[in-house]
Amino acid sequence: MKKTRSVLSALLLAALLPLAFAQTPAPAPAPVTSIKKVDASAAIAKTMPDGSPNAPFHKSHEAFLARGKAGPVGLLFIGDSITAGWASTARTHIWESYYGQYQPANFGIGGDQTQHVIWRIENGELAGLTPKVTVLMLGTNNTGAAPTGHTIAEIAAADKKIVELIRAKIPGTKILLLAIFPRGARKNPQGIITDSAITDAARRTEIINAVNVELAKLDDGVNVRYLDINASFVGQDGKIPFALMPDQLHPNTAGYQLWADAMKPRLTEMMK
What is the pLDDT at residue 261?
98
DSSP 3-state of 138: coil
What is the pLDDT at residue 197?
97
What is the pLDDT at residue 36?
82
CA distance 14 to 178: 77
Q: How many CB atoms lie within 10 A of CB 101?
A: 11
Q: What is the DSSP letter of 11?
A: H
CA distances from 135 to 4, 162, 218 (A): 94, 12, 14
Contact 83, 120 (CB under 8 A): no
Q: Low-confidence residues of the chain, pLDDT below 70?
A: 1-34
What is the pLDDT at residue 28?
52
Taken in order of first residue, the domains within the chain and their CATH numbers are 40-271 (3.40.50.1110)
Dihedral of CA atoms 155, 157, 160, 161 in degrees, nearest 10, equals -110
What is the pLDDT at residue 33?
47
What is the pLDDT at residue 24?
41
DSSP 3-state of 7: helix
